[in-house]
Structure 1
Amino acid sequence: MFETDVYAFDYSGFGYSTGTVSERNIYADIRAVFDYIRATRPEKKIVLLGYSIGTAAVADLAASRPEGLVGVVMVAPFTSGLRLFGRKPGEPNTSKLDRFVTYDKVSKIVVPVLVCHGGCDEAIPVEHGLEIVKRAPRAVTPLIIRGADHMSIFNGKYLRTFRRIRK
């Protein structure tokens, strides 16, 4: 269907991975996978896809290491940790305690960015995804799936998600 290679992994402390969950480790994990792909398949064009907390790692990598990238897909992104838990998605943030600050990094991404978000996502409200779209200089029209929530956006019922990513 996609005629592509897919590299998937568990962040430290998630799934079958060992290690400890931390922002630093999550960013190091995606960099290690990216470096492996660039070293073993340098001819490949790379599209980064992140889901939920993975969108923060994708934004961090895409903003700082654009070589070989042709696009970024962010499914259910959030603007930052503090903004997700109690603040408005686009509200300026001055706290040094904030983590996973995707809001600031996405403005430095130089490749096209597609945001996909469930219209009924209660874990990460769709307003976060729309703020990411506003901040990304090369954002394409977002895909907001009415009726989908945080976990169901990839259900077979919502094949539009995969069709849009394929484009």
Structure 2
Amino acid sequence: MDLLGTFAWSGGGLCVIYVLLPFIVRLFPWIAHKIVFLHFVEHPKVVFKDLKKPESFGLKNTRNFYLDVDEESTIGVWHALPENSGDQIDSNDGFWEKKLQEGNPIILYLHGNSSSRAQPHRVELMKLLCKLNYHVVALDYRGFGDSTGFPSEDGVVADSYFLYRWIRKRSGEVPVVIWGHSLGTGIGTKLTKQLCENGEPPDGLILQAPFTNLKHVSKLHPFSTLFRFLPWFDWAILSAFDRIGLHFKSDENIASVTIPILLLHAEDDFTIPHELGERLHKEARRVCEVTSTDIHFVSFDKKHQYGHNGLYKSPELLQHVVNFVASLKR
């Protein structure tokens, strides 16, 4: 086959794949599941390091431990102490759990898809929050990092719920704030909905790069650019989410959230477009008229180029967080 023929064959093959891929996803919806969670993808800077050693990622005064959620899931957890805790650190569990009762606010951090709690931008945010003298407790959901099991919408929310109750049992009246990023905002909003409905609400909810629901973000995500204009995109791709129980309907779940909410979004976020954060904010404001919930939306100018993962670089971020946490009432 001559060179021209080779190119023609390759081009034709790509066209066939382009047309058939949505049908393949509909036929095998587990592919959509993997695309949503990407739990098998690890960050290059993390892959050869040991999650049991958070100090190797630059986190001081941080311990690693594991919790058995159910028969399927054992989750890996990091607990980073506030900077004002000092350097006299004891290795026994009692020391760390007692620290949770000393009055410093506690952030339960729920990360987005792919990689683990050790992904660099997640670690950098944890460091900043510790400098604010907050505890940070971060987990890897089932199937992520060194946690066992296989992720699902209900499963990752169950893992987060279990860790929240573990914290509450040990923290007493100390404020606990749930912080979700990206996919973690969908997890965090659904978790907070359940907690509010069950009479055990957190003190605040922070949503970084939030979205309305999985179908909306799937239509606007860069990965779908080549396929979203196909007439069968909804029928093939989006229907696969329903078949495997993936919804993350934050625009519906937020109606049951009765605690203060802070939304953070960069204008140049191309992974989860800023407009989805605005739409969720608008829906939350509408609900607030009924629940009297305090809600704040902070946009970060595109000129700073924070994108999807870079808000930790913002000098203004910490003040927004400090003001929000200080406004919470127990």
Name the TM-score, length of structure 2 as normaliser: 0.45
Residues matched between the structures, number:
158
What is the aligned partner in structure 2 of residue 82 from structure 1?
A: 215
What is the aligned partner in structure 2 of residue 140 from structure 1?
A: 295
Unaligned runs of 5+ in 1: 88-94
Alpha-carbon distance, 1:139 to partner: 4.7
* Candidates 246, 266, 270, aligned match of 1:118: 266
Supply the distance in 2 between the matched residues of 1:110 and 1:153 (Cα, whole angstroms). 26
User: Per-residue displacement from partner, 1:138-157 (whole Å, max 9, x unpaired)?
Assistant: 35331111122102222x2x
Higher helix share: 2
Q: Does residue 161 of the first structure (1) align with residue 317 of the second (2)? A: yes
Alpha-carbon distance, 1:106 to partner: 0.8
Supply the distance in 1 between the matched residues of 2:138 and 2:216 (Cα, whole angstroms). 28
* Candidates 54, 62, 73, aligned match of 2:192: 62
Supply the distance in 1 between the matched residues of 2:171 and 2:310 (Cα, whole angstroms). 33
Supply the distance in 1 between the matched residues of 2:203 and 2:283 (Cα, whole angstroms). 18
Q: Which moved more, 1:136-145 or 1:115-124?
A: 136-145
Alignment of 1:2-81 (within 5 A): 2-66=132-196, 67-81=200-214
Alpha-carbon distance, 1:42 to partner: 2.4
> What is the identity, as a one-letter code, of the residue corresponding to 2:163?
V
Q: Does residue 104 of the first structure (1) align with residue 260 of the second (2)? A: no
Supply the distance in 2 between the matched residues of 1:132 and 1:16 (Cα, whole angstroms). 32
What is the aligned partner in structure 1 of residue 95 from structure 2?
A: none
Supply the distance in 2 between the matched residues of 1:22 and 1:50 (Cα, whole angstroms). 17
- SS of 1:141's equivalent? strand
Alpha-carbon distance, 1:68 to partner: 4.7
User: Per-residue displacement from partner, 1:59-78 (whole Å, max 9, x unpaired)?
Assistant: 11211213252211000011
Assess if the C-alpha contact under 8 Å between 2:180 and 2:207 holds in 1. Answer: yes
Unaligned runs of 5+ in 2: 1-130, 221-238, 324-330
Name the TM-score, length of structure 1 as normaliser: 0.85
Q: Which moved more, 1:98-107 or 1:131-140?
A: 131-140
